[in-house]
Chains A and B, each alone.
Chain A
Amino acid sequence: MSGNMNLTLRIWRQKSAKANGQLVTYPVKGISPDMSFLEMFDVLNEELINKGEEPIAFDHDCREGICGACSMFINGQPHGPKKGVTTCQLHMRSFKDGDTIVVEPWRAAAFPVIKDLTVDRAAFDRIIAKGGFISVNTGNAQDANNIPIPKTDADLSFNAAACIGCGACVATCKNSSAMLFVSAKISQLALLPQGQVERIARAKNMVAQMDEEGFGSCTNTGACEVECPKEISLENIARMNREYFMANIKE
């Protein structure tokens, strides 16, 4: 079909967490510009399987930009060159025929490679388990207007809650810092009345777990905010700092 693209992919192949990996070159032909980046990987994997080779392992799930599973560091940027999208929302029309595309896994001590392009992001789950929740009795949902919340607070909280925990912030940060993620998870609850009961313990425990996992610390380059597919604001990091300092003053 005319208009289709031929590309050269250089993809990180690594058999297991312990094995050494390297970039391997794969030519791909006849790629439609309307394919998503992951669909292009599906085409390549089908070819590899037909040839009897090991397909490339990569994370994906919803393929509509809301689950946070897909990763891939594409040509030096997490989720590729487009702003505000995940890899599944990145289309091949963002590249030119004949391009060479380098694809690497997220690189961070706290995100060890499992295989090829898949990394273990359980460190995020352990941080959430330390305080990214509120304790309430289950039952019928409360009437919507029982607890009045200012519109501005509700909006800020919702914007923070848009974080899908994909790890692009860690991947792009020169320090592998998880502060955008952790600050979004602290902010979404600190801004609402429901989050007040556990507010002090939440800030302290989540930051402590973040440090323990071996993430670096923020130097305010702002790269995370630019690369975040959900465009989480740096304001959240300042809010987390305030929450943490206040928690230490109060207790």
Chain B
Amino acid sequence: MSTNQANFLQSSLGKKLIMGLTGLFLISFLVVHAFINSLIFFNDGGVLFNEGSEFMAHNPVIRVIEIVLFIGIILHIVQALILTLQNNKARPVKYAVNNGKANSKWYSRSMGLLGTLLLIFLIIHLKHFWVVSRFTDEITSGEETMYGEMKEVFENPLIVITYVLGVISLGYHLLHGFQSAFQTLGLNHPKYTPFIKALGFWFSIIISLVFAAMPIALYMGWVK
């Protein structure tokens, strides 16, 4: 890597670019994840959903993308940590009175907190499903299906509540993050920015509702 590129990646704008790009990449993953999981709403006892998860588990292309996905998540977290530490250093003495709500939304100022909650949720979520499907032979042996695993996990109301809270954190994180990523990439235009903002708003709400509907529907027995 030339010094020029190294300087670029170490600059404030270079780090922000990585945040924006990885953020948008993770959003694209959410779309795929939501689509596959929505197969449970066919209410066919999880047949289609199991086929979908089987495909995702054994397709070599998906296996490679999974590695890229984890790199994306780690990059997003590491850059966020570096930027947050730098930003904290930029104001060593805090204000006695700071009226943040007069000029910005609380969730736009709380991306670090929301992201941390998301990370905690992600670890719980990976333990429930990803670890079981990859590192145990429960599913490959045919002893258990992914759908059966899902039903079992969401029998516990505390887990359902944890998932709903995780999804709420996701919704607010996206509410700011979606349009913020475009601004960081320099994509701000008087004609298109209102469209991007509206798209980000509805995307955040709809994707959160779809994800929240899964544990709730399974717990309430709306899907069998």
Contacts and interface: CB of A to CB of B under 8 A. Distances in A.
Given A223-B103, A235-B190, A242-B186, A176 B87 contact: yes
Main secondary structure of the interface of A (DSSP, over half): mixed
A208 B11 contact: yes
Given A216-B90, A221-B109, A102 B188 contact: no
Interface string B86-121: 110111111111111011110011010000000000
B98 A76 contact: yes
A245 B95 contact: no
B16 interface: yes
A206 B109 CA distance: 26
A251 B87 contact: no
Contact of A221 (B99, B104, B186, B190): B104
Contacts, number: 133
B12 A73 contact: no
Chain A interface residue bracket vs B: 35 or more
Given A226-B102, A241-B184, A217 B12 contact: yes
B102 A237 contact: no
B120 to A, nearest CB: 21
Contacts of B7: 208
Contacts of B100: 76, 174, 223
B187 A238 contact: yes
Contacts of B95: 73, 76, 104, 107
Given A77-B102, A109-B91, 12 more contacts: A12-B96, A76-B102, A175-B87, A214-B89, A217-B87, A219-B109, A220-B176, A222-B108, A223-B100, A226-B103, A241-B184, A244-B13
Interface of B: 4, 7-8, 11-17, 83, 86-87, 89-100, 102-105, 108-109, 111, 176, 179-180, 183-188, 190
